[in-house]
Amino acid sequence: MITLRPYQTTAVEKTFIYLGAREGNPLVVLPTGSGKSVVLGSIVRHAIEAWPSTRVLVLTHRSELIEQDASAIRTVWPEADVGIYSASLGRKQVRAVTVAGVQSFAHASTPHTDITIVDEAHLIPHGGEGQYRTVIDNLLAKNPAMRLIGLTATPFRLSGGRLTRGDGALFSSICYELPVQQLVDEGYLSPLVSPTLASTYDVGKVATRGGDYAAGELGASIEAQSEITDAALDEAMRAAGARASWLVYCVSVEHARQAAQRLFSLGVSCSVVTGEDEPGDRRRKIERFKAGETRALVSVDVLTTGFDVPRVDCIVLLRPTQSAGLYVQICGRGMRLFPGKTDCLVLDFGGNVSRHGPITDLRTKHLGPTDAKKHKVCAQCDAEVKVHKIECPECGYVFPRIPREVTHEKEATRLAIMGPAPLPEWRAVNGFSLARWEKRPKEGELAKPPTVVVTYYTGNLGRSDHREWVCPEHGGFAGEKFRKWWSERGGALPYPVTVEDTIARESELHPIDGVMVEKDGAFERVSKVRFGVAREPGDDEGEPDVDAPWVDDGEDLPF
């Protein structure tokens, strides 16, 4: 029996609150090293103790994770009736709780299942293809009322695209998400650090397929630039010479061999680990690394998910990736705590920090693709928009232009691996107001529903004030976002359904004395508000007249 950490308890509670109050399938987002398997075991225990006839299936993709999840369930709940269904482990047991490999279970006779939990849910592909889809579709055919729960450290697929967005998305929304920085601040995770030093692979002609660089072209390009690999590893040795346990990520088997040869010449003991290894051979290499007998593991397309070796104190990224999910998963390998370890050094020779941002403030949060068909998410209303669109068709938000980076740095980046830059800041305000706002349609365009512009006053008229837009008359993501906004600010039920009703009920909202402002491309956006005390009559003297509706006059504003 173990005692759950406070955030683990909250994750379990939020999951069941969601299942009880809402339709759809929740996603739980917990950083690598946060004890995700303990949360998984606790969800299983709670479900079956509350409803004894419940049958739970846990799906994952590797034998190591199957054993890990089964062990976690038994640790949280020693009396659990747990079976393992995996051809690689030589067992095909279906019990009250079945932990299964998706490859094996795709060919099994489908049992009645009430709850299916997908561990490492970011591996579910987009659309209707893949073994996960086959298994889940078969389970739903058997029991249409089955609920699906996803657990992951990254709420987007490795191939690109949010797990809660796009056609055929299996998960409806995130029910709980824990920030990486919080776990670092509370001492549960080791921080990542960037090098104090800051050499370039040219991948400008490498094509993109499935949300990342085309593997064959990328491998051929970088293999031909072996002198750059040598220079990068020379720099890595200078920066991380005192580090004891390295993970080195490469783009191809030949590239990994080049890297290993250079490391040997520098006196670094290492093993190459690839998908071509026999399972027993790979296991022996990993065990030697875990025991500290080998200093570095050089990896190709493995050791990115479910690989947990706390002693890792240096990550060398010799591969560029357009997948934010893969980038975060790789960095997470270095964040577990280990005696004597104070941090993990990340040497990014792939331009990934520049491409995606720090892992605590990923650019894909607002601008990244949401599926393999190249969509992005609107920063204002969360609608899914085709990537070539410069304006959101739901709310009129204009996407800032982001230059596409396609080069791989020869030297390790100087950019911070953790922490947003610039930092968000609080701005004091002396009140706010609501007004009608309309987007003037272009010629031949249908008019869109009006929205509410919320203006937060800083005490100076003009552009120093801050604004956000909410959409009570919109459907979909914009409408959901408005209802959440209304509830968080103290608005009563029922929700307003028109702009006029929202403005008329402004007095229901809590007073606000500060806003947190974050950079969003070329613009600033309000990300949080700070509630204050109610204003006395007359306190609004001198504020601008806001009774007149806002009309877009073509000025270059972020809406």
Structural domains in the chain, CATH included, are 6-178 (3.40.50.300), 192-367 (3.40.50.300), 425-551 (no CATH)
Q: Which amino acid is at 211?
A: G
pLDDT digits (tens, 9 = 90+) for 203-216: 555 555 545 565 66
| Residue 305: predicted pLDDT | 73
Tell me: pLDDT of 224 over 60: no
Of residues 65 and 129, the one with the higher pLDDT is: 65
Length in residues, the chain:
559
Averaged pLDDT for residues 522-536: 71
Among residues 307, 314, 518, 516, the alpha carbon closest in space to that of 417 is found at 314
pLDDT at residue 54 is higher than 80: yes
Split at pLDDT 50, 70, 90, the class of 75 is very high
Q: How far apart are CA 228 and CA 202, in angstroms?
A: 10
pLDDT at 183 over 80: yes
Phi, psi (degrees; rounded to nearest 5) at 337: -80, 150
Q: How far apart, in whole angstroms, are the C-alpha atoms of residue 514 and residue 466?
A: 11
**Cα 423 to Cα 408: distance, rounded to the nearest angstrom:** 26
pLDDT of residue 487: 92
The more confidently predicted of residues 557 and 66 is 66
Lowest mean per-residue pLDDT among 89-93, 295-299, 426-430, 524-528? 524-528
Q: pLDDT tier at 44 (50, 70, 90 boundaries)? A: very high
**Which residue in this structure is represented by tokens 């490859």?**
103
Comparing C-alpha atoms, which of 449, 409, 486 is closest to residue 204?
Answer: 409
- Unique residue bearing structure tokens 């085309």: 214
Output the pLDDT for position 221.
56
CB 39 within 8 A of CB 11: yes
Which pLDDT does position 216 carry in this prediction? Answer: 62
- Spatial distance between the Cα atoms of 220 and 406, rounded to a whole number of angstroms: 16
Whether residue 298 contacts residue 263, with contact meaning beta carbons closer than 8 Å, is answered with yes
SS3 of the chain: helix, strand, coil, percent, to 5:
30, 20, 50
CA distance 250 to 272: 10
Residues whose CB falls within 8 Å of the CB of residue 136, separated by 6 or more in sequence, listed in order:
116, 148, 170
Distance CA 96, CA 111 (A): 11
Query: How do residues 269-305 score in pLDDT, each as one tens digit?
Result: 999 998 888 878 888 999 999 999 999 999 988 887 7
Q: Which residue has the higher pLDDT, 72 or 363?
A: 72
- Output the pLDDT for position 362: 77
Contacts 24+ apart (CB under 8 A), 486-493: 489/529
Average pLDDT, the chain: 80
Q: What is the pLDDT of residue 523?
A: 63
Residue 405 has pLDDT above 50, yes or no: no
Say which amino acid occupies 300.
V
Tokens of 15: 């999951």
What pLDDT shows up at residue 334? 92
Model confidence, pTM? 0.63
